[in-house]
């Protein structure tokens, strides 16, 4: 068993586990940790607790320290400098004729790396840009091309539900979402209704998809010709929550049947 904490890195919103190093930490604490990019800060999302060794990575690192007031001032100062560097990067990329939409810029706590995130429709040859930035800031430069979903995760915003974006608030990974999920839930295939602000399919389409699949079991398919006690007709609507479906019998009109009335007889 190891005493660990779960932390989140503010820039990427990625989660990681660290050995608490016998430091008493609570949710919300800012800690200083070692990363592949250098010494950086992270926010404690799950306070110190005991975890089994087999559930942890082999290269588990230790929390270096709880962020001091000086560390917090350095973070603020670093971000102000990063914001100015972002403006410079935008100017340089424009001068070089690069089609790059910069999202944010971030200094590691030790300022050994300056990381830029950007979106682009195609691959970008940014070697000359990286060279110019390295000459100006005398540190390691990393330019990360991210997708539109990653941009939404970073920037945030409001979804069509009126709540803050799931990806920005609590989602840690982007699960696969398909158009079949929208069809499975009888949603109109209107991009303005089923796409998020990132332009991709709404992540929330996956939340209730399994439930719809379960509830639809035993119902005829939409548009199927089914045989009823009143004749043969076409299925025009299904309400999985009420357990009913409607059949258009043409001359006899539309009738509503219960799910248990359907025995799999279709034409």
pLDDT in tens, 25-69: 999 999 999 998 889 999 999 998 888 888 888 889 999 999 999
Q: What is the mean pLDDT of residues 169-184?
A: 90
Q: Quote the CA–CA distance of 26 and 63 in Å, as a whole number.
A: 13
Q: What is the mean pLDDT of residues 134-163?
A: 92
Domain with CATH 3.30.300.20 in the chain: 72-146
Q: What is the mean pLDDT of residues 222-234?
A: 87
pLDDT at 215: 92
**What confidence tens digit (pLDDT) does each residue in 187-220 have?**
989 998 999 999 999 999 999 999 999 999 889 9
Rounded to whole angstroms, the maximal C-alpha distance in the chain is 82
Q: What is the mean pLDDT of residues 171-192?
A: 90
pLDDT at 97: 95
Q: What is the mean pLDDT of residues 165-189?
A: 90
Whether 252 has a pLDDT exceeding 60, the answer reads: yes
pLDDT at 267: 54
Whether 266 has a pLDDT exceeding 80, the answer reads: no
Q: What is the mean pLDDT of residues 136-152?
A: 94
pLDDT at 44: 95
Q: What is the mean pLDDT of residues 244-265?
A: 84
Of 169, 167, 168, nearest to 177 by C-alpha is: 167
- CATH classification number, 72-146, choose in 3.30.56.10, 3.30.300.20, 3.40.140.10, 3.40.50.740: 3.30.300.20
Are 134 and 141 contacting, i.e. CB atoms less than 8 angstroms apart?
Answer: yes
pLDDT at 250: 84
The proportion of the chain whose per-residue pLDDT surpasses 70, expressed as a percent, equals 99
Q: SS3 of 30, please?
A: strand
Q: Quote the CA–CA distance of 42 and 50 in Å, as a whole number.
A: 20
| pTM of the shown model | 0.78
């Amino acid at each position: 068993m190891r005493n660990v904490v779960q932390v989140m890195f503010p820039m990427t919103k990625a989660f990681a586990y660290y050995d608490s190093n016998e430091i008493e930490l609570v949710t919300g604490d800012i800690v200083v940790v070692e990363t592949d990019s250098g010494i950086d800060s992270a926010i404690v999302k799950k306070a110190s607790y005991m975890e089994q060794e087999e559930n942890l990575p082999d290269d588990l690192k230790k929390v270096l320290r709880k962020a001091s007031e000086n560390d917090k001032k350095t973070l603020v100062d670093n971000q102000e400098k990063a914001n100015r560097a972002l403006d410079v990067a935008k100017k340089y990329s424009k001068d070089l004729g690069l089609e790059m939409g910069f999202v944010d810029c971030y200094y590691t706590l030790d300022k050994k790396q300056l990381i830029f995130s950007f979106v682009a429709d195609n691959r970008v040859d940014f070697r000359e840009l990286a060279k110019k930035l390295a000459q100006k800031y005398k540190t390691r430069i990393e330019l990360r091309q991210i997708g539109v979903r990653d941009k939404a995760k970073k920037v945030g915003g409001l979804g069509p539900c009126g709540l803050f974006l799931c990806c920005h608030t609590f989602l840690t990974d982007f699960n696969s979402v398909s158009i079949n999920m929208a069809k499975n839930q009888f949603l109109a295939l209107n991009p303005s209704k089923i796409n998020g602000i990132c332009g991709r399919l709404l992540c929330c389409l996956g939340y209730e998809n399994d439930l719809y699949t379960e509830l639809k079991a035993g119902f005829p398919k939409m548009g199927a010709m089914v045989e009823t006690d009143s004749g043969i007709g076409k299925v025009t609507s299904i309400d999985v929550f009420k357990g009913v479906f409607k059949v258009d019998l043409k001359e006899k009109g539309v009738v509503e049947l219960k799910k248990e009335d359907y025995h799999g007889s279709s034409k």
